[in-house]
């Protein structure tokens, strides 16, 4: 579906600026493309600059290096983005499926740094520009892991529960100011997510989506663009989006099986 920038925003900003983190692949790249199609000027941030430059060139955007786990990188990135109306905090991810008794400190640290601290750093850095625009909108890509748990997922679900708490707190703290806050909670999306979680094991990653049709990155991007193109008096607090065949984080109906499985 084709969405358009509201006239009230275009009349003030012309082509408003949308910033997308984690934009070198997956949901971030799909969101950058979708926002550009709507008429936004898109600033893309990520660590993998080769991929980022290619996407930025494709959509007529600007690709800037960004490591959300590094405070100095975030500060340098924000200094090059003096104007912004939309921020999509998409950078994040999972590492491993180890139970708590075999948890790896470094995996948990990285997950917390990317999913929580990174979200906080980028939001804090760009909040003045967003508010100054008079039409600011913060979209945090969280997960159903922000309100569900599953065996082996404690590190990731803890981080996403925290990210959800930050998002909901922001909504309270920014009330009355010209800023909107939206939380996007996807279920199973076939991107590089599982490949990263399983440390590059593409065979194991593919099994996650075996016998079912997961969401695509474009499905999630569509939700994000719909939320940011509503009239400014409308705040879409939360969108939970899952594949039709997924009921919970672990309950998935797969073809060729007599009953829903819980092996994710």
- Three-state DSSP class for 126? helix
- Domain locations along the chain: 7-241
For 7-26, how does the pLDDT look when each residue is reduced to its tens digit (9 = 90+)?
A: 888 777 779 999 999 999 99
C-beta separation of 107 from 95 below 8 A: yes
CATH 3.40.50.720 fits 7-241, yes or no: yes
DSSP result, the chain = ------HHHHHHHSS-EEEEESTTSHHHHHHHHHHHHHT-EEEEEES-HHHHHHHHHHHT-EEEE--TT-HHHHHHHHHT----SEEEE----------GGG--HHHHHHHHIIIIIHHHHHHHHHHHHHHHHT-EEEEEE--GGGT---TT-HHHHHHHHHHHHHHHHHHHHTTTSSEEEEEEEE--B-SSHHHHHTTT-HHHHHHHTTTS--B-HHHHHHHHHHHHTS-TT----EEEE--TTBSSSS-B--TT-SS-B---
Active-site pick, 112, 135, 156, 209: 156
Nearest to 86 by CA among 138, 37, 35: 138
Q: Kindly report, residue by residue over 76-111, the tens digit of the pLDDT.
A: 999 999 999 999 999 999 999 999 999 999 999 999
The residue ranges of the chain whose pLDDT is under 50 are: 263-264
Q: Give the three-class secondary structure for 54.
A: helix
Question: Residue 208 CB: number of other CB atoms within 10 A?
Answer: 18
CA 172 to chain CA mean position, Å? 20
209 assigned to active site:
no
Model pTM? 0.94
pLDDT at 264: 42
Residue 10 has a pLDDT of: 77
């Amino acid at each position: 579906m084709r969405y358009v920038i509201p006239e009230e925003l275009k009349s003030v900003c012309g082509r408003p600026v949308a910033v997308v983190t984690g934009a070198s692949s997956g949901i971030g790249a799909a969101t950058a493309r979708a926002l550009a199609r709507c008429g936004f000027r898109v600033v893309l941030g990520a660590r993998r600059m080769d991929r980022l430059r290619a996407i930025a060139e494709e959509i007529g955007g600007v690709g800037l290096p960004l490591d959300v786990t590094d405070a100095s990188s975030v500060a340098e990135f924000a200094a090059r983005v003096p104007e912004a109306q939309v921020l999509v905090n998409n950078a994040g991810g999972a590492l491993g499926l180890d139970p708590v008794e075999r948890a790896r400190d470094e995996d948990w640290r990285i997950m917390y740094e990317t999913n929580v601290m990174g979200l906080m750093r980028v939001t804090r850095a760009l909040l003045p520009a967003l508010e100054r625009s008079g039409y600011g909108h913060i979209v945090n890509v969280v997960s159903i892991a922000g309100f569900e748990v599953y065996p082996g997922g404690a590190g990731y679900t803890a981080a996403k529960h925290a990210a959800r708490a930050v998002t909901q707190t922001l909504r309270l703290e920014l009330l009355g100011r010209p800023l909107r806050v939206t939380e996007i909670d996807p279920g199973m999306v076939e991107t590089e997510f599982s490949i990263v979680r399983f440390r590059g094991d593409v065979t194991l990653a593919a099994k996650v989506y075996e016998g079912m049709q997961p969401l695509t990155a474009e499905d999630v991007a569509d939700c994000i663009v719909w939320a940011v193109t509503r009239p400014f008096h409308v705040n879409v607090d939360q969108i939970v989006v899952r594949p039709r065949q997924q009921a919970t984080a672990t309950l998935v109906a797969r073809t060729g099986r007599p009953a829903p499985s819980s092996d994710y």
